[in-house]
Each structure stands twice: as structure tokens, then as C-alpha cells.
Amino acid sequence: MLTNEELQDISVILNVQQHLVNRLKKSVEVLEQSFSTNEDTALEIESLQQLLDEVLADVDLLSDEDIDFAQKEAKSIDFIYEAKRAEIKSSLEKIAYTTWNDYVAQCYQYSFKQDIDPFLPYEMLLSKKDLETIKSESYANQYKWDKWDYLFVGLAGFIGALIDFFIVAIPKDMNTGVYKGQKGSPLTKWLQELKLPPALQKWLEEAAKVPYDQTGGSLHRIDTPGHDPVLGFVFGVIDLIRGTSTSFKDGNIIIEKVGAGINPLEALIKQFLHLCSDAFTKTGLPVPFASIFKLQDIGSFKRANGKTATVSQLTTWMYYHGYDLRHFVTMSATPASIEIILRLYIMIRQFVEKDDWKFKLANNPKYRLMLLSAHSIACATNVGKVYLRAGNPLAINYAEWLMFIRYLVPSLKYWLFDRAELELNHLEKVNDQIWDELVENSDNLLKKCGLEQMEIVSLG
């Protein structure tokens, strides 16, 4: 495998060859033009030729003065030849070497001596087939966008924005305060009206009683991490095992001993059943990771009643106004629409162009960037949505922002750390045989330019 330094050496050598060929062709063109357009030189040569013919015809009649004159004219012809020969002498310079390192070193010296960039493109010394192969297999070309990529990224982002505006909206109608008159989501309203069968609901409540349900008031679910749809399987299970109740209030963590503990397997099952029993009640469950925001007793945000609130207090206010797990399902319609549109488009193109349905989308920088771009459009329009609703925090599409972060983090890692390494690994995949073929083709093209396309100039 070739290293990055060896690839640079080859680039320098090919550029030097190109420079020599260009100088040679230019000098030959100047020489041809000089002999074809310089009337004085052409007339002088023709006159001398006529004079020489006359002299040869009357060679017996030549005097010493005639011979001296002929010798002087002959010297003028030699002078013209030597002058033109000197013009192309520098272009006929040959770089000789005994080892590869000597050759590379002399090419570098020649580059600096002639004031040329040693890393200029050397496409002129490659055949069209070689050039197309290199460009098609280059790292950058593999992840280059075309017009269809831009079209579907824009389309997915636009459709996601429309869903966010007209379907997600806010959890419920606002009837008081500065947000009065804002309409809630019809989809969230429908989800919040769904109930479990009374018998099933009652059985779940009896079978899945938990210690952390005994602390707090009507909004205790937003205060206890055990009710978090995701973190609950950590904090809730621990509370069940230890017989404790963990709650977050005003940025503080409070742990209380309220009963006896149970074994881990029973705790996991009971945690799941308890979340199911709370999911379809009037207040429902908080959105995923809401407990993290409850710990953030920072900031100063103006509420609808004119008072200020911290992040922790604002989280409670939003939950009180219907910003729960069911509205999170509604919010998920925005990122879901983007994912469906783009992933379907990518799969179809993958099958049409490569006849393969199996590929790792998450590991492909192009596809990941396309998804990130579409979600960026949706997030940008969500900012506009919050602004148009007078800064109502209930208009924030939490699910869409989570998806945006999900693609942003690995993309940042790729841009900052992985890209250079992946490009180098891609270059190293080009084996010695392919580079030998490229160099051989460049040599053949050099010979063709230097020998086959060069016209022979005759004097006299």
C-alpha cells in the first residue's frame, strides 16, 4: 500500500514531466513559427541557396574573394541554426537518477528552480479513462451531492416543517394569559382521550404500586425520575429495589425511605406495569428525560402570567399544560416524516445505482449529512414557530430537537476527528498495481506528445 508521502512524491514527478513536455512543445512551436513566418530569414536562406547553386556551376571560375564570401555566408547559416537550437536546448533537459529517492529529490529541485508548484494537478498526463477512474473513486466524489439529493433534503425538511406547524402545534388550547387563543394539536387531543379498559386500568394500579408514587402532589410524576419513560428504568427500578422514593425539586435530589425493597426482576416488571398504568391517565407521563430539566434550577424565563421561572419551574409548567408523553408522540411525527422520506429515497437510489438494499446508513457521511440538513431545516422552522406563537415554550418540538442532536454529535466527530483519517485510509486502498498502470499510461502519453506530435524541422 502507498503512504501519503509516496502519493505526494508521485504527484511531484508527474507535474515535473508535464512541465517539461509543455516547455518542449512551446519551444518547438516557436521554432516552427519562426521559420514559417520570418520572411527575412526565409529569403536569406533562399538567396544563399541560389548563390550556392551558381557557385557550384562555376566552381572553376571562383577566386579567393568568392571563396571567402561563401564561407562568411555559410557561417551566417550556422549562426541561425545555433540560435534556434539554443531556444529549445533548455526544454530538452533530462532529469537523470540512480535511485527512486534521487529521482524524487531532483524533481523537487527542478520544481523550485522553475518556480512551479510541485503539487499542481497532473491530469494532463493521464488518459481520459484514468482521469475518470480517479475522479469517480476519489473520497470526496463518493459523498458528493447531486441535484436530487438537494431536492429531497429540502422536500423532507419542508414537509416536516408543515407537520410541525399544522399537526403538532401545541399540546392543548390556551384560554388564558398572553397565549390565549392559540389552538392545540388535534392529534394530541385524540391521544389524550384514549383510555385503557377500566378493569385493566384498575388491575395495573393494584398490581404495580411503587414507593415513589407516595411523594409529591398532583404533579408528582414530573418531580420523580421514576416516572420518566426512559430514566424511570434506572431510578424507578433502584427505588423499588431499595424501597425508597427519589424526587427532584428546585434543582435538589431528595431520597426518602418509604418501604421495603424487592428483588431486581420483580422491580423491573413492576416498573414497566406502573408506567403503563400512568400513561393513559389525565396527566399522563412526562416526556423522556424531563427529569434532567427538573434538576436545572437556572435561568430566568418570563411565564404567561408575567412572572419569571427557572428551567426547572418552566418544565413543571409545560407538563401541567399537556406537554406529556402523548404530545411527545405527536411531536415525533415531524422527525418521522423526514426519516421516512429521506431513507426511502436513499434506499431506492442505492438499489437503482448499486443493486443493493444492504448498506449502513449511519456510517455513510453523505447520508448522515443529508438527514442532519433536513432536520436542521425543521429545527430552524420550529424556532420561527415559537416566535410566531409569541414565544410560547409549548410550541417547542422537543422530539425534533432530539433527532437533530442525534445526527449533529456524530457529524461533529466526523468533521473534527474522523474525516482526515478516513481520507488517508481511502488513498491507501489504491494498490501498487493501479498506480503502476497510471504511471505507465502517463509515460506513454509523454512519449506521444514528445515524439509522435513533433514535426521535424529541416534547414536548407
pLDDT averaged over 10-residue windows placed end to end, the chain, 460 residues: 60 69 68 62 65 59 55 58 61 62 76 66 54 55 83 96 96 88 94 93 92 76 92 94 88 85 93 94 92 86 75 90 95 96 90 71 82 96 94 94 92 76 58 57 60 49
Residues 159, 408: Cα–Cα separation, whole Å: 20
pLDDT of residue 459: 45
Residues 73, 111: Cα–Cα separation, whole Å: 42
Residues 405, 383: Cα–Cα separation, whole Å: 15
* Side chain identity at residue 247, one-letter code: S
Quick one: how far is CA 10 from the chain centroid? Answer: 28
* Side chain identity at residue 326, one-letter code: R
Residues 8, 12: Cα–Cα separation, whole Å: 6
Residues 250, 216: Cα–Cα separation, whole Å: 13
Contact predicate 385/395, CB 8 Å: yes
All structural domains of the chain with their residue ranges: 4-125+430-452, 145-194+323-419, 196-279+288-297+310-320
> Can you say whether residue 391 is alpha, beta or left, with left for phi > 0 and alpha for psi between -120 and 50 degrees?
left
Give the H or E element holding residue 245: strand 244-249
The angle at the Cα of 308, spanning 304 to 312, to the nearest 5 degrees, equals 100
Torsion angle of the four alpha carbons 99, 104, 109, 113, in this order, in degrees rounded to the nearest 10: 120
Residues 158, 151: Cα–Cα separation, whole Å: 11
pLDDT of residue 79: 64
